[in-house]
Amino acid sequence: MAIITKQVIASPDDCVRVVIQISPFFAFSLTNPEVKCLDFNNPQQDFQSGMRFTSLNIAQGTKIVQAFLEISATNTVATPSETKIEGEDVDSAATFSTEADYSGRSRTSASVLWTPASWVSGSLIRSINIRTVIQEIIDRPGWSALNDLVLFWSDPLPGFGGTNLLNGHSFDGSAALAPKLIISDAGGQMWVVQM
């Protein structure tokens, strides 16, 4: 089984956006040491993250069998809540720049709801199969090998009222432990694309 591993070398290839219940009402970071999802209180905050994976050597229309997002947890949550993974609906995703850039990006119609079975600091946490999200991007007529894609990790019910924040290493926190995208196709090939 062939394995390809790529690592992002630019900080703006992951980001965190947070909605805050009080002024200034939102914040955005390209250099946070963690990717984050779900809620935190004092003050009430709702987090989501974007992750860009570059130079995927996958031909347009390739049949994707399995795909997983893998995150290295930096905190422990006894009972993780449901999260949502979707992609950017674009042929080749650009690096992140501003909050307006992040929020203005089109999302795929495909999304996957994922409730992690556990979330323990120091553990590698792998999502359920997100094949449908990746397939929608790979099937775009304008997709070609070596294009880039973005995944969004967010709260499926945006709002406030929890203490279930999930944290994982970002590129800025640990390049070696940054998120991974793992993809296998119908021919048995496997790609490991590391943030």
3-state secondary structure 2-20: CEEEEECCCHHHEEEEEEE
Please tell me the total count of domains within the chain.
1
Instruction: Evaluate whether 39 touches 46 at the Cβ level (below 8 Å).
Output: yes
Amino acid at 119: W
pTM comes to 0.93
Strands 3-7 and 147-154: unpaired
pLDDT block averages, 10 residues each, the chain of length 195: 56 95 88 94 87 93 91 95 97 97 98 97 96 96 96 87 87 95 75 55
Range of the domain at 16: 3-194
What value does the CA radius of gyration of the chain take, rounded to a whole number of Å?
16
Instruction: Reduce the secondary structure of 108-165 to three states and give it as a string.
Output: EEEEEEECCCCECCCCEEECCCCHHHHHHHHCCCCCCCCEEEEEEEECCCCCCCCCCC
Backbone angles phi, psi at 13, to 5 degrees: -90, 5
Residue 1: its pLDDT value, please? 33
